[in-house]
Structures are given as structure tokens and as C-alpha cells.
Amino acid sequence: MKIEYQNLNLILQKFKANPYKIYPVVTPHTGYIREFKIKEGDFVKGPFGKWLEKPGSPLFVLERERNQKIIRAKISGIVQKLRTELLNKFVEAEEIILEIKHPLSQEEIISEILLSALYIIKAPETARYILSPTIASKLEKEGLGKVKVKKGDEILIMAFMKRETPIYFSEEGNFVIYHLYFTPFQLIERDQPLIGFCQEENLPYLQKIIERIKEEWSNS
């Protein structure tokens, strides 16, 4: 196990001191910013609902080729560094328009801490990833924390430079898939975490850590 129980306190303290993550909001494409729907300090909501089917709060309107598009928040938080000077200006793609200061939830803290506790497959390249069909169907049936993998199993498929490359599990021992960090078909930057695995014998211990975080976090 990579996390000693004693170290957990330190890690938790760090998160307690700054329980936020900053998400920049960029333009998806070029166009004119026609209207800001928010102002500095507003609280915006990300997509919500059972399947995240309800869209996030509107942030601004981007117009291109006479089509107006409302750009919405992908995560909840407080609006900061809003660049109001860009109103009615032409902007390039991927231009940062504002930042959302997102308060981390209990679940997100767990996910962050699990990063250092689990065996992680990271993205070997900036590419798009999907679960291998066998793993995907097993996960659907059995759920996280149950699907066993062994060395040599095909776990993921990487779509990269117009080719599909399988990614195999390379650790000896009995592991289960514990956490998914990626969304299929989304472009994932190199070295970003994709999947977290836990050794079977460590499962109870990991559960204990999570219990501890839950306890600590609900207290704060």
C-alpha cells in the first residue's frame, strides 16, 4: 500500500487548508463574445441530474458564422478573473475567458487521495481512450471494486495517430479495478490518470481509509 495510515492526516490537512480546485473556462472555438451571463463572484452550477442531463449555468454567448452558442459551466463554483473587456471582441479558440473556483466535494477528495493510494494506469500519450470491450461489459455487470484483472489483460484501447493500440495490465498480483478517472472518447493529456487498481488483499484497508476521509470531511 502506498499510503501509510499516519500520513493520511497530513494529506487531509492540506486539502482542508485549500479545499478548492481552479478550472479555467476556455472558448471551444473562435467567434465573438456577445454577452456575459454572469459576473465576478457569482456561484455557477455544473451539469446535474441523474445522468448529468441538466446543463450547467450559462456563462457567456459566443457567436460564429451567425450562430449563437451559450457556453455553460462544466463544474460548479465561484466565478473569478472574468475578462469583461472581451465583450464584442473576436476571440481565438482555447482562449481563457474566466475561472471557476470549485469547492471540492467529499467524493472528489477521495478520488484525489486515491490517486496516491492506488496502482494507476496513466495515459501514455495525449490521445483518446476507451475501455476494452471485455472490461467494459464486466464493469457494467459487476461494478467498481469487483472486476479482477491479471497481468496481460487488455484493459484499454488508445486511439492515437489514426490507430488503435491496446493497453495491457502489467503488474503481477491480484488486482481489481477500483476507480475510473477518465471519460471515454475524450482527449486525455499525457500522464493524466486513467484507471486506479487496488490489490485484492488491500481492499479492506482501502475501505478503512475512505471511511476515515468521509468522517473527517463531513466534520469540516
Question: Residues in the site for other proteins, rule: CB under 8 A?
Answer: 28-31, 64-65, 67, 90, 92-95, 124-127, 160-163, 190
**C-alpha distance from residue 217 to each of 15, 25, 113, 202, 210 (Å):** 10, 28, 13, 23, 10
Separation CA 64–CA 219 (nearest Å): 48
Residue identified by cell 468521509 is 214
Residue identified by cell 454577452 is 35
**Smallest gap, in angstroms, from Cβ of residue 6 to other proteins?**
34
**Smallest gap, in angstroms, from Cβ of residue 83 to other proteins?**
16
Separation CA 169–CA 7 (nearest Å): 28
- Which residue, 14 or 89, is less far from other proteins as judged by CB? 89
- Which residue, 31 or 193, is less far from other proteins as judged by CB? 31
**Smallest gap, in angstroms, from Cβ of residue 44 to other proteins?**
23
**Smallest gap, in angstroms, from Cβ of residue 161 to other proteins?**
4
* Cβ–Cβ < 8 Å for 12, 216: yes
- Sheet architecture: strand order including 20-26: 20-26, 96-103, 77-80, 43-44
Residue 49 has phi, psi (to 5 degrees) of: 100, 170
C-alpha cell at 71: 457556453
**Smallest gap, in angstroms, from Cβ of residue 86 to other proteins?**
14
Alpha helices in the chain (DSSP H): 7-17, 106-117, 133-142, 203-219
**Three-state SS across 50-86?**
CCCCECCCEEEEEEECCEEEEEECCCCEEEECCCHHH
- Which residue, 94 or 171, is less far from other proteins as judged by CB? 94
- Which residue, 8 or 26, is less far from other proteins as judged by CB? 26
- Which residue, 170 or 174, is less far from other proteins as judged by CB? 170
**Smallest gap, in angstroms, from Cβ of residue 90 to other proteins?**
5
- Which residue, 19 or 124, is less far from other proteins as judged by CB? 124
